Structure 1
Amino acid sequence: MTTSRTLATADHEGTVRRGDLATWYRITGELRPGVAPLVVLHGGPGCVHDYVLTIADIAADTGRAVIHYDQLGNGRSTHLPDRGPDFWTPQVFLDELDALLAELGVADGHHLLGQSWGGMLGAEHAVRRPAGLRSLTIADSPASMRLWVAEANRLRADLPPDVQATLVAHEAAQTYDDPAYLAAVQVFYDRHVCRVVPNPPEVVATFAAMAADTTVYLTMNGPTEFHVIGTLRDWSIIDRLDQITVPTLVVSGAHDEATAACVAPFVERIADVRRHVFPESSHMPHIEEREAFMALLAGFLAEVDAR
């Protein structure tokens, strides 16, 4: 499944500042005129960039710069634990993305890849039809949170009975930090989030960062993947997908918590779309089938640039 290839080091790091807000970013490779970089949007909401760093392989393999960043509230960017639900909306992250693209001088030409929540954010960016967006890759993302919750609970019903009983008991008591509950959730994660067990260091680092500051995840999502009660609970982009006009690649894993039903609206409603399922992967095919993922992505980007 995964490979032993090391993670690429950054060629440049920096921050984009807007008033008292700072967004940290890193660039692998060199930004070059005429070569649109790939901008990577991490998931969560509330994750950090670490677990999608394998996608920097594209820089070494193709000479295309790859830009990662930590979204506001996460990682090396400004943390805002005192901001309430009214602040944590997709618009905050769209504004942040616009500022990043402008600061780096790539607003007029960029490819975008969003993983999980990042794909939701990427779709929100694409429906605005920004002139500089060359392509969109939606990786392991739902088209609506109601689809996500319904499918997560369908997959949960296939867990061993004792695991299900543990989940139910602790959710009733709201003891989400109990070790028994966390162990039961991990059974789901090992099946449907990352099937490389033990998890690679970049995945471990991401979960540790989320645990260290739960503000964004708890506020926008909720306490678990099964209980989405945050500001995203009613989010959907289904009725706006026909506004996406750039070439779009939709990928997921055969064992993904972002199931076929979750991603189907992207495939059905985006006009210029391609679809691929990684047979050995769950929610992180960029790790679980790394070489195949990079080959597919590199080919797609080259196809778009050749138009």
Structure 2
Amino acid sequence: MGMQRPDLQVAGVQQIEVNGIHMGCLQMDRHEGEGSGQPTVVFIHGFTGCATNWGLLLKHLAERGMHVISLEMLGHGCSSVPDDPHRYSIEHCQEDIVAALRTLGIGAEQAVLVGYSMGGRIALYTALSGYFRALLLESASPGLSSPEEREQRRRSDEALANCIEDYGIEAFVNYWERRPIFATQGKLPYRVREALRQQRLRNSPRGLANSLRGVGTGAQPAIHDRLGTITVPVLLLTGEEDQKFCAVARDMVERFPQARHHIVPGAGHTIHMEQPEEFEQLVYTFCRSVP
């Protein structure tokens, strides 16, 4: 079912086989010294992203004593590119993430799960498994609440998926970078923006198209009423310039038994890139606080 992508091997990223597919995986082991013995931290990237999108955050957390794992979702990075869009579904994402951690020797309640945007939606759904010690969501949502909204978004996602396949990756990336939600990325240094662009261009058109069809916001089930079953500590992070997701987080925080919402000044949707030092400290402090 899964197609391996040896052409896209990235330094430090390995492939692990789970549930008949390959997942890209970047691991940085904890070191003796400060913070040793703290929980493993597992990162899930956003749409068009990959395991290395978190920049120096992964290295810095490892240096501070944490065991860091960054996984790549189907259709992204070095992971497989199945032909069946259903294989990308959020239910399969949950199964693949848990299976990957078991393969890596990470048991239940040993890891803090961190997800950004699409990866945040996936992380939120995956946390319903009860496998994790805590949950940190960056610019994430529990889905669209009404069937009408979901159907409209599903059609929009399908149209975009068709465009990716018809016009190619460069035309899509040009469109994606101009979306208003990413306007604050224009403040990033040119070298950072160019590195991000080149990473996006390395994606598979079929992989991104099927990811939209399988795990796009339109395909995702709404789980607002299930948030109360996630009893572990939860931290919601949003950028102050991302008003849409600030509102989403304000609604979500009231639904969890143990959650708080922190708004990061001077950031939009992509906090870990726009305010990397503050994001790192927030992740580190939260992980240290988890019982």
Shorter-chain TM range is 0.7 to 0.9
Name the counterpart of 1:37: 40
For these two proteins, the number of residue pairs brought into alignment is: 263
Distance 1:209 1:200 in 2: 15
Shift of residue 262, structure 1, vs aligned partner: 2.5
1:267 partnered with 2:229? no
User: Which residue, 209, 218, 232 being the options, matches 1:218?
Assistant: 209
Compute the RMSD of aligned alpha carbons.
3.6
The structure 2 residue matched to 1:285, chosen from 266, 271, 288, is 271
Correspondent of 1:209 among 176, 184, 202: 202
Is 2:19 the partner of 1:27? Answer: no
* TM-score, length-scaled by structure 2: 0.76
User: Could you tell me which residue of structure 2 aligns to residue 15 of structure 1?
Assistant: 15
Aligned equivalent of 1:110? 111
Report how far residue 219 of structure 1 moved.
3.2
Counterpart of 1:48, as a letter, is: C
Query: In the alignment, which residue of structure 1 is the partner of 2:156?
Result: none
1:276 paired to 2:262: yes
> Residue 19 of structure 1: CA displacement?
6.2
User: With structure 1 as the length reference, what TM-score do the two structures score?
Assistant: 0.73
TM-aligned CA distance change 1:197 to 1:111, over 3 Å: same
Q: SS state of the match for residue 26, structure 1?
A: strand
The answer to whether structure 1 residue 139 and structure 2 residue 125 are counterparts is no
Report the identity percentage.
21
Give secondary structure in 1 for the equivalent of 2:88: coil
Q: CA deviation at 1:68?
A: 0.9
Q: Secondary structure, in 3 states, of the residue corresponding to 1:235?
A: coil
Question: CA contact under 8 A between 1:143 and 1:263: conserved in structure 2?
Answer: no
Match of 2:130 in 1: 129
User: Corresponding residue for 1:3?
Assistant: none
Per the alignment, in what secondary structure is the counterpart of residue 87 of structure 2?
coil
1:24-70 deviations in Å (ceiling 9; x for gaps): 211123388843210001111x5322322333044245210211122
> Which of 169, 173, 188 does residue 180 from structure 2 map onto?
188
Which blocks of at least 5 consecutive residues in structure 1 are unaligned?
Answer: 1-8, 151-169, 223-227
Which one-letter code corresponds to 1:221 in the other structure? L
In structure 1, the partner of 2:281 is 295
Letter in 2 for 1:72: L
Instruction: Classify 1:58/1:245 alpha carbon distance in 2 versus 1 (closer, same or farther; 3 Å).
Output: farther
Distance 1:257 1:206 in 2: 27
Name the CA shift for 1:184/1:78 in 2 (closer, same or farther; >3 Å).
closer
How far off its partner does 1:246 sit?
A: 0.6
